[in-house]
Chains A and B, each alone.
Chain A
Amino acid sequence: MITLLPDVTEKTGVPRTLHVPFKLGRPCGEPFDFGTRKKVVHQLLELAEKPAGSRLEYKN
């Protein structure tokens, strides 16, 4: 799961989270910034391969 509020998602018990540094309402970056979008999706999929409990920070 992408998270904008990591403390909140931690409490919900989501097994894997990718903390992104974007604004609320823009979890995959700014409109038409498809480069960032691709990085977010890539990093989310990398996260899916990691053990439950993994918490990653988005890397630009």
Chain B
Amino acid sequence: MKNRTKIKSKLSVAFSKNFPKAYNNFTLKHVNKQTGLPETILAKPLSECKVALLSTAGVHLKTDIPFNLDLHPGDHTIRVVPGDASEEDLTVTHMYYDLKSAKKDTTIVFPIQQLKELEQAGEIGAVSDVHIGLFGGIMDTEHVEAESIPQVVELFKNKKIDVALLVPG
């Protein structure tokens, strides 16, 4: 990570910690209002559903190339996390939240272990064999909307995912 990115990260994290209301307003101002999105309805009981996680907390396998935090307006590439990944296999790369807690225990941003327990208990049909990690700190979402999200949608459709649980950072 470049020094400039490190400074930007430290300032951003300090801003969100010390001025949460201002941070909320800043973020709100930079989000485009979406309307007319298609209705989504769960077509079958949860006990028959295949469930996937999608995290924007910068989750990826330790063996993957980390998100490039030096890119402007942000690394929009996706990371696929296999369903059999354990907490020890995962890490996080992000710059807009304090990573200390997530690096200690990745389940706070990627609760895959808890999903596996629910699968074993029969409460959900199955845990997906693919999940998605994204870097959510992107100010201009043009490439995310045009490239990353269609990739995720296609992957989830091919894998017949019924429910996607979205977890921020």
Contact = CB atoms under 8 A, between A and B. Distances in A.
A4 B168 CA distance: 8
B42 A48 contact: yes
Q: Is the interface of A mostly helix, strand, loop or mixed?
A: loop
Interface string A18-52: 00000011111111101001101110110011011
Contacts of A26: 101-102, 108-109
Contact of B165 (A37, A38, A44, A51): A44
Interface stretch (B67-75, B114-122, B150-158): B114-122
Contacts, number: 111
A27 B169 contact: yes
Interface of A: 1-5, 7-8, 11-15, 24-32, 34, 37-38, 40-42, 44-45, 48-49, 51-52
25 contacts: A1-B168, A8-B27, A8-B31, A12-B31, A12-B34, A13-B33, A24-B16, A24-B17, A24-B20, A24-B23, A24-B97, A25-B101, A25-B102, A26-B102, A27-B108, A28-B107, A32-B105, A34-B113, A34-B114, A44-B165, A45-B118, A45-B123, A49-B46, A51-B41, A52-B40
Contacts of B37: 13, 15
B28 interface: yes
A30 B168 contact: no
B81 interface: no
Nearest to B168: A27
Contacts of B27: 5, 8
Contacts of A2: 165-168
Given A1-B168, A52-B41, A38 B114 contact: yes
